Amino acid sequence: MTDTPVDAPTELVHLDTDGALATITLDSPHNRNALSRQLVTELFARLEAAEADDAVKVVLVRSSGRVFCSGADLSEATTVGMEQGAKEIVRLQRLIATMGKPVVVEVGGPVRAGGIGIVASSDIAIAAEDATFALTEVKLGLAAAIISLTVHHRMGPRAAALTTLGGEVFGGTEAAAYGLVTKAVPADDLGEEVRRTCASLATGAVQGLRESKRILNRDLVERIDAHGEEMAALSARLFASEEAKAAMTAFLTRKG
């Protein structure tokens, strides 16, 4: 056994495989699974590892705690900017959409802003009825730019306008009605519903799953490829603006 170096970074994203199912777990409780550079890099690597594993047919993304994802890491955004980070989140959404295996997301609790892009880029999203969602960017002088690539593909235009412009919290049941998630179930039933769904998907043939997903996500991938660069540039510009910097600093001060 090799001792872990004292200065080794703590792993924020874990990958476990059990037969045909690969489970990827976000585990960064100190910042509510915010999309830090480390978390995004590790999530990308775990997804690629699951894609490369021939035994895996279905990929499940979940969180270790109740919070699924709090969105962009505002501490990083106010210090190093979002120019590279925005591009990486676009790439992350594209990877989820283009993987040859269905990606299921389990949402048991709060998910905000950029985290909703992971939910929207997945093939199937199952949420607890009391999970909460919010596109909070508008409150900080930002816009849901990079995640609009997937979120606006899933949601109807009226629902997208209401949630994007309002920035208010909505629940799992509403998220299902809006088309953001596949279904919402009572919190006590979430684990079993996710297990059942993953087991059902795993009965599909490898080629059938791959080609069916490619057909289903063709328009989504075209949307990402057509507008991803533009949305990443817009996001970086807004994060760098004085209005957004002041709002983010004020938010972090209140939070602290």
| Mean pLDDT, rounded, of the chain | 95
pTM score above 0.85: yes
Domain residue limits, the chain? 13-255
Which tens digits make up the pLDDT trace of 96-123?
Answer: 999 999 999 999 999 999 999 999 999 9
CATH architecture of the domain 13-255 equals Alpha-Beta Complex (3.90)
- Phi and psi angles of residue 99, each rounded to the nearest 5 degrees, phi first: -55, 150
pLDDT range class, residue 6, cuts 50, 70, 90: very low
Contacts of 185 by beta carbon, 8 Å cutoff, 6+ apart = 126, 127, 128, 129, 193
